[in-house]
A and B are shown apart, each in its own frame.
Chain A
Amino acid sequence: METQVLIIGGGITGVGLARDLALRGIHSVLVERRDIAAGASGANHGLLHSGARYVRSDPTAAAECREESALLKRMAGHCIEDTGGLFVAVEGDDEAYVADFPSLCARCGIACKPICAAEARELEPVLSERLIAAFQVPDASVDPFHLCLDTLSEALELGSRVMLHTRAAGFDRDSGRIRRIRLINDETGAESWMTADLVVNAAGAWARDVAALAGIEMDLLYSKGSLLITDQRLTQRVINRLRPASDADILVPGGTVSILGTTSIPIDSLDRIVPTVSESDHIVATASAMVPSLKTTRYIRAYAGVRPLVGSRSIDDGRALSRGFALLDHANDGIENFVSIIGGKLTTYRLMAEKTADLVCQRLGVDRPGLTAVKALKPFAANRWTAAGLSPKLWMKAKASGDLLLCECEMVPASAIDAVIDGIHEQGGSPSLYAIGRRSRVGKGTCQGAFCGLRINAYLYDQGRLEGRQGLTDLRSFLSARWRGMRPILWGTALLQEELQEAVHCGYLGLELGGRR
């Protein structure tokens, strides 16, 4: 196999780069070790930053966010809900920080309108009665899965290729160049070699491991952030705590739910990234100063991601483009066709991809400008099912006879599952419960997959898409994955639901025993 550019990593940066290159007529193959948006791209707030959060700590990043968020609202509007945002301070918060905030925003060109506490509480009744200040900013909410999937789909339509569950296992080097890349498919165990003119490392938190394949030591720090999902949407707007960035100070509406986070815990290893009980308690306790009902609301699940932070060495050697992300040209390390793009945030992914593509083009001797700032992202029908509240709407509108609801919590019908499976096939994946869950609302409602998992498995067998004992294997790994997010929030009604799930999956089906004598 050969390609012009091999992209390692199927997060938003990797798929953004694949699309950017494709729009410039450059062929790429993207390899992703697990699934699309399986790392930080799928484990964040889904917040499209106005930049206001960074006005004091990082004005460059703040200005980038301002420009990029405004641009994405035009270019990828179908993945974004332009909710607007509020920054609020409560009694006890630093009043000097509050006083400086409007002028800091103005310095970065970010629209910021002060409103009185009563007005803020009228807009968002769940806000604390102890509010002392509130400002309106142009924050928005973005569906990162939808954004990643559509970005990838457009790249594929333009002739790029993707290989899921495939990792780069080694580089075959020859006089300062990567000649071939050894690829391993972790699902099938199949090994293959890829020849590429240029290799881009866009592996997010795993970029250090990929760089190590080329013998390059990368200065990347890991910070784990955990978030909680509430069972209802608590606010219409993004709510930020007006104080220096800290834990549990952002609440982002996402369709029919709200997402609360985060923590920031330095970690050394990427082996087990799970939200913990103590993190969920800390988040609830801290954020309830801003929104008191967060203490009593029901949580659906927790999740955790890893922020790859660019270490000080990378920045000090002058290669960093901004405090937010860094584009590393490994020609400086003696490998001329290897580039790493690291750090950054969801809001600035397009800019990161564009800068990387510019460097790629320069290396390939191609003189074509980037088009992602002027060409809107194309919506694909197969990818729209991640949006909460969409499938019930379409299902009721269509009233298609025989279109059974397979996920009753989130009302996902069989037709939606079919569409999602078509999308998975186009991406070269296999339609497991896990893959379907990542591309739809399946498993995201109150049952957390306990019942819809069984219905969908039965459906997949009926459709001839599952054979042998694969369904049981898939069900176990799906439930295990959902469990990591359930464990930290099991109290109240969620614990009751969990007991029911255990009674069905273990008491009746005996899944913990392997399902067979």
Chain B
Amino acid sequence: MTDTAHISCDLCVIGSGMAGMSAALFAADRGLSTVLVGRTGEIIFATGFLDLMGVHPLEAGRLWNDPWAAIAAVVKDLPQHPYARLSAETIRAAFQEVLAFFEAQGLSYSGFPDRNAAVLTSVGSVKLTYRVPLTMWSGVAARQRKAACLLVDIQGLKGFSARQIKATLAGAWPNIRTAKVVFPGAHPEGDLFPERLARSLETAGARANWAAVLEPYVQGAAAIGVPAILGISRSAEVMRDLEKRLGCPVFEIPTMPPGVTGLRMKEAFERGLAGRQVGLLLENKVFRAAVHRDSGFLLEAGSMEPACTIRATAVLLATGRFMGGGLEADRHAVRESVFNLPVHQPEGRDDWHREDFLDRRGHPVNSAGLQTDEFFRPIDAAGRPVHPRLFAAGSILAHQDWIRMKCGSGLAFATAYAAVESVRAELQKG
């Protein structure tokens, strides 16, 4: 181990999903020296939509147009839900700060004031979400007006069929035409991947060629829906250029995950955090964590094996659930992977999942996770914080089901925001 492999910081954020990335952003913007350690994680599966709150109560499958009213209902009905630890102002401030950051990184979002928008999915279902990538926004308006719309798919891009979307929507949105096109320069019969198509569309030449292919199909369409391939880092610019060439609004529909929508967020976060001097140990995991009540944390991190030590005064755990690696399960129990913290969980494995996959109530194991105090510090069986400067945020928190409640992004941003506030307050004490 070389000397450079020792890092000291105020805060080490473990986890590089939505919660970890936004926590590092909040911390850096508040002047904390911050290191982020994390594997690629689930962010690459993100659709780009930012959910705040959509469904409550789960058993009734009630959908909410006003996410803030939905949050108020959740806070009232589910006092253990992480949102119940937060004020609406905190949630709003967290969301605003991330949106402003994305905007500055060229990843613009749109939405209705205080209202969820209905967006199209790649199977033709409709999803409610709070903030929509600008590149998908025309689709929301087009659907509202049931505008004459052209849906395009691409030969060789699997799992995305314009015909399927049209057929599934039929009654609800009759005025749709479809076209399957060959992507210019791509082998007409090869297997295509969204990332390559998106990177290619970042060049003006490729856009001109594709616009020429699409042009004959436009035929007075009020909007054109395409798979989400409109560039990676400059997606709004790619969209506007295509719109100019086609003389018509263009919108994206997310492809089957993992597509480029998650990649855009990942790259935006990585760019922005690097610019804020956050120490990024990406593709890394924490192998060992030693905790000292006074001096803080000593973490050994690396990609395949421990390669550096991080001395951190405070740690924020945003390692996610099973997909992110924050929780691990064997046949008998769920455990927390870095500190072996107590995990709130159902009694036995037979209680983890319901008998029907699509049971609206969600699976009990989805609400397993870390229980915290009001400062987002994981607590032990006696209800005391495990360590005064160990915090947790995001989907690893217990008593929430972000997948079914449609609250993933809001939960990640808001709990990260609140936890970072707690970190700051705690560090000021020291």
- Which residues of A approach B to under 8 Å, CB–CB? 274, 276-278, 281, 284, 401-406, 451, 454-455, 457-459, 461-462, 464, 466-469, 471-472, 475-476, 479-480, 482-484, 486-487, 490-492, 495-496, 498-500, 502-517
Contact with A along B24-55 (1 / 0, CB 8 A): 00000000000000000010010101000001
CA distance A484 to B354 in the complex (A): 10
B159 touches A491 (CB 8 A): no
B356 touches A461 (CB 8 A): no
A479 touching B163 in the complex, CB below 8 Å, given contacts A472-B168, A487-B353, A503-B323: no
Can you list the 5 inter-chain pairs with the closest CB atoms, starting with the nearest?
A402-B189, A515-B125, A483-B357, A461-B164, A458-B161
A475 touching B355 in the complex, CB below 8 Å, given contacts A284-B331, A401-B189: no
Q: Which residues of B contact A490 (CB under 8 A)?
A: 329, 349, 352-353
A454 touching B159 in the complex, CB below 8 Å, given contacts A461-B164, A490-B353, A508-B257: yes
* CB of B358 within 8 Å of the partner chain: yes
Q: Which residues of A contact B124 (CB under 8 A)?
A: 469, 472, 515
A500 touches B189 (CB 8 A): no
A457 touches B167 (CB 8 A): no
* CB of B170 within 8 Å of the partner chain: yes
B329 touches A492 (CB 8 A): yes
Q: How far is the CB of B404 from chain A (nearest CB, A)?
A: 6
A480 touches B356 (CB 8 A): yes
A487 touches B355 (CB 8 A): yes
* CB of B174 within 8 Å of the partner chain: no
Partner of B164, one of A458, A480, A516: A458
* CB of B3 within 8 Å of the partner chain: no
Q: Which residues of A contact B161 (CB under 8 A)?
A: 457-459, 461-462
Q: How far is the CB of B364 from chain A (nearest CB, A)?
A: 12
A499 touching B323 in the complex, CB below 8 Å, given contacts A455-B256, A509-B125, A510-B121: yes
Name B229-262 residues within 8 Å CB distance of A.
254, 256-257
A508 touching B47 in the complex, CB below 8 Å, given contacts A503-B42, A503-B403: yes
CA distance A405 to B193 in the complex (A): 13
Q: Which residues of A contact B191 (CB under 8 A)?
A: 404-405
CA distance A461 to B180 in the complex (A): 12
Q: Considering only CB atoms, which chain A residue lies closest to B161 in the complex?
A: A458
A504 touches B45 (CB 8 A): yes
Q: Considering only CB atoms, which chain A residue lies closest to B125 in the complex?
A: A515
A476 touches B358 (CB 8 A): yes
CA distance A400 to B321 in the complex (A): 41
A451 touching B323 in the complex, CB below 8 Å, given contacts A458-B164, A510-B121: no
Partner of B125, one of A483, A486, A503, A511: A511
Q: Which residues of A contact B356 (CB under 8 A)?
A: 480, 483
B47 touches A274 (CB 8 A): no
Q: How large is the interface on B (under 10, 10 to 19, 20 to 34, 35 or more residues)?
A: 35 or more
**8 intermolecular pairs with C-beta atoms under 8 Å apart:** A462-B161, A466-B164, A472-B168, A491-B329, A491-B330, A503-B403, A507-B406, A508-B47
Q: Which residues of B contact A483 (CB under 8 A)?
A: 356-357
Q: Which residues of B contact A472 (CB under 8 A)?
A: 123-125, 168
- Which residues of B approach A to under 8 Å, CB–CB? 42, 45, 47, 49, 55, 61, 63, 118, 121-128, 153, 156, 158-161, 163-164, 167-168, 170, 172, 180, 187-191, 254, 256-257, 321-323, 328-331, 348-350, 352-353, 355-360, 363, 365-366, 402-404, 406, 408
Most chain B C-beta atoms within 10 Å of own C-beta, residue among A406, A479, A498? A498
A406 touches B158 (CB 8 A): yes
A506 touching B358 in the complex, CB below 8 Å, given contacts A281-B331, A462-B161: yes
CA distance A506 to B170 in the complex (A): 22
CA distance A450 to B363 in the complex (A): 17
Q: How far is the CB of A300 from chain B (nearest CB, A)?
A: 15
A454 touches B55 (CB 8 A): no
A500 touches B323 (CB 8 A): yes
Q: Which residues of A contact B125 (CB under 8 A)?
A: 472, 509-511, 515-516
Q: Considering only CB atoms, which chain A residue lies closest to B359 in the complex?
A: A512
A454 touching B359 in the complex, CB below 8 Å, given contacts A461-B161, A462-B180, A517-B128: no
Partner of B188, one of A402, A454, A480: A402
Q: Which residues of B contact A492 (CB under 8 A)?
A: 328-330
CA distance A496 to B127 in the complex (A): 24
Q: How far is the CB of A99 from chain B (nearest CB, A)?
A: 36
CA distance A281 to B332 in the complex (A): 9
B121 touches A278 (CB 8 A): no
CA distance A502 to B408 in the complex (A): 13
Partner of B167, one of A467, A480, A512: A467
Q: Which residues of A contact B359 (CB under 8 A)?
A: 512
B123 touches A515 (CB 8 A): yes
CA distance A406 to B158 in the complex (A): 7
B123 touches A457 (CB 8 A): yes
Q: How far is the CB of A433 from chain B (nearest CB, A)?
A: 12
Q: Which residues of A contact B126 (CB under 8 A)?
A: 510, 515-517
A471 touching B323 in the complex, CB below 8 Å, given contacts A487-B355, A502-B403, A504-B257: no
Q: Which residues of A contact B153 (CB under 8 A)?
A: 462
CA distance A457 to B331 in the complex (A): 33
Q: Considering only CB atoms, which chain B residue lies closest to A482 in the complex?
A: B357
CA distance A190 to B306 in the complex (A): 66
A516 touches B172 (CB 8 A): yes
Most chain A C-beta atoms within 10 Å of own C-beta, residue among B160, B168, B172? B168
B256 touches A451 (CB 8 A): yes
Q: Which residues of A contact B127 (CB under 8 A)?
A: 508-510
Q: Which residues of A contact B172 (CB under 8 A)?
A: 516
Q: Considering only CB atoms, which chain B residue lies closest to A280 in the complex?
A: B331
Partner of A506, one of B128, B156, B163, B403: B403
Q: How far is the CB of A227 from chain B (nearest CB, A)?
A: 17
A404 touches B158 (CB 8 A): yes
Q: Which residues of B contact A486 (CB under 8 A)?
A: 357
Partner of A458, one of B49, B159, B352, B360: B159
CA distance A479 to B358 in the complex (A): 9
Most chain B C-beta atoms within 10 Å of own C-beta, residue among A276, A403, A479, A483? A483
CA distance A402 to B157 in the complex (A): 11
A491 touches B349 (CB 8 A): yes
A500 touches B42 (CB 8 A): yes
A491 touching B323 in the complex, CB below 8 Å, given contacts A471-B167, A516-B172: no
B321 touches A499 (CB 8 A): yes
Q: Considering only CB atoms, which chain A residue lies closest to B256 in the complex?
A: A454
A513 touches B61 (CB 8 A): yes
A277 touches B168 (CB 8 A): no
Q: Which residues of A contact B256 (CB under 8 A)?
A: 451, 454-455, 504
Q: Which residues of B contact A510 (CB under 8 A)?
A: 121, 125-127
Not counting A490-B352, A509-B127, a sample of 17 additional A-B residue pairs whose C-beta atoms are within 8 angstroms of each other reads A278-B350, A281-B331, A454-B123, A464-B163, A466-B167, A468-B167, A471-B167, A495-B322, A504-B256, A505-B358, A508-B121, A508-B257, A512-B61, A513-B55, A515-B123, A515-B168, A516-B126
Q: Which residues of B contact A471 (CB under 8 A)?
A: 123, 164, 167-168
A469 touches B322 (CB 8 A): no
Q: Considering only CB atoms, which chain B residue lies closest to A276 in the complex?
A: B350
Q: Which residues of B contact A464 (CB under 8 A)?
A: 163
Q: How far is the CB of A72 from chain B (nearest CB, A)?
A: 37
Q: Considering only CB atoms, which chain A residue lies closest to B405 in the complex?
A: A507
Q: Which residues of B contact A496 (CB under 8 A)?
A: 322-323
Q: Which residues of B contact A482 (CB under 8 A)?
A: 357
Q: Considering only CB atoms, which chain A residue lies closest to B61 in the complex?
A: A513
CA distance A459 to B157 in the complex (A): 10
Q: Considering only CB atoms, which chain B residue lies closest to A515 in the complex?
A: B125
Q: Which residues of A contact B321 (CB under 8 A)?
A: 499
CA distance A125 to B242 in the complex (A): 60
CA distance A451 to B257 in the complex (A): 9
CA distance A147 to B411 in the complex (A): 52
Q: Which residues of A contact B123 (CB under 8 A)?
A: 454, 457, 471-472, 475, 509, 515
